[in-house]
Amino acid sequence: MKLVHVAVGVVARGSNIFTTLRAKDAHQGGKWEFPGGKVESGETVTDALTRELAEEIGIDVLSSEPLILIEHDYGDKRVKLDVHRVTQFTGEPHGKEGQPSKWQSLSDINSDEFPAANKPIIQALALL
Ligand SMILES: Nc1nc2c([nH]c(=O)n2[C@@H]2O[C@H](COP(=O)(O)OP(=O)(O)OP(=O)(O)O)[C@@H](O)[C@H]2O)c(=O)[nH]1
Ligand SMILES: [Mg+2]
């Protein structure tokens, strides 16, 4: 099965992190996620991160740094999540595609409400 390369952005304000709800009919639908999406051919991960966060949550990423790289096999799909912490941005994050969104404080984040691949992301954030 082919590996889907995904750019994922952790947008934080203090200890709050911006999260969005995946559409019911999407892969891992109904779970909360960190916004992001597939890296297209010819794009760098940073290009993809910038494009996806502009499309999905209406922000302009000014700087970001790598947080963690995760490979996960869902059985129906294999993903490589290239997770970056967004350290500077302009604009106010919102569910630009109509998706529900919320700021969640790190201490309240429940891994069970996120796709299984996200567990190490949430653990890594807790160590920062
Ligand atoms: N954006 C995002 N995707 C995640 C996370 N965790 C996780 O397993 N994924 C998986 O990564 C894959 C690609 O993400 P995506 O659905 O956002 O891709 P996309 O924006 O390009 O959407 P599209 O497929 O509708 O074009 C999905 O299979 C999704 O389940 C996460 O925290 N954020
Ligand atoms: Mg997406």
Q: List, for residues 68-118, the tens digit of each pLDDT value.
A: 999 999 999 999 999 999 999 999 999 999 999 999 999 999 999 999 999
Instruction: Give per-residue pLDDT as tens, 24-71.
Output: 999 999 999 999 999 999 999 999 999 999 999 999 999 999 999 999
Question: What residue type is 2 in one-letter code?
Answer: K
- Residue nearest ligand 1's atom 22 by CA: 37
Tell me which residue range forms the domain holding 51. 3-126
**55 Cα to the center of ligand 2, angstroms:** 9
What's the whole-model pTM score? 0.97
DSSP secondary structure letter of residue 40: P
The binding-site residues of ligand 1, defined as CB within 6 angstroms of any ligand atom, are: 4, 6, 8, 26-28, 33-38, 52, 77, 79, 81, 115, 117-118
Cα–Cα distance between 78 and 5 in angstroms, integer? 9
- Residue nearest ligand 1's atom 5 by CA: 33
> Which tokens hold the place of 55?
């499309």
Total count of domains within the chain: 1
Supply the CATH number for residue 80's domain: 3.90.79.10
Residues 6+ apart with CB under 8 A from 88: 61, 62, 63
Which atom of ligand 1 lies at the shortest distance from residue 74's CA? 8
DSSP string, 63-100: EEEEEEEEEEE-SS-EEEEEEEEEEEEES----TTS--
Nearest to 33 by CA among 87, 95, 78, 91: 95
Quickly tell me which residue has 């160590």 as its tokens: 127
Cα–Cα distance between 120 and 117 in angstroms, integer? 7
- The reported pLDDT for the residue numbered 93 is 98
Nearest ligand by distance to the CA of 57: 2
Residues 6+ apart with CB under 8 A from 124: 67, 68, 83
